[in-house]
Structure 1
């Protein structure tokens, strides 16, 4: 359970994200918790893939603003 709690703490979004804003989501199923590999948005009470507009068929338990990815180039 510590892993679930630690992951959930990293997804610090409270309530619903602003409309149309792409965010990272944490999902949960019988196997555990996992982050979806694509950005999602919350539209009219439902989570959708931000790019494709397809409904997310997973239980979303947390969200956060996208993290900045560093390229490693100086």
Structure 2
């Protein structure tokens, strides 16, 4: 199992995310860190599910450009 530091190192997350681009996001809760299984977009200061447009109700601690075409 990857440690929190290793997961955070895999996600850029520095500065503001590029607007209107699909991104992979890393979230964190009381159980640990996890990557959402869907792409998200940073729109008007909020994270949204790229496919549905629904707001992400998790604490996002990192983001990165997609690493594969699977998203």
TM-score between the two structures when normalised by the length of structure 2: 0.89
1:42 aligns with 2:42: yes
Residue 65 of structure 2 corresponds to residue 65 of structure 1: yes
Q: When the two structures are superposed, what TM-score results if normalisation uses the length of structure 1?
A: 0.86
Query: Of the two, which has the highest radius of gyration?
Result: 1
Alpha-carbon distance in 2 for matches of 1:4, 1:15 = 20
> Structure 2: which 5+ residue stretches go unaligned?
none
Structure 1 CA distance for aligned equivalents of residues 50 and 15 of structure 2: 18
For these two proteins, the number of residue pairs brought into alignment is 69
Stretches of structure 1 that go unaligned for 5 or more consecutive residues are none
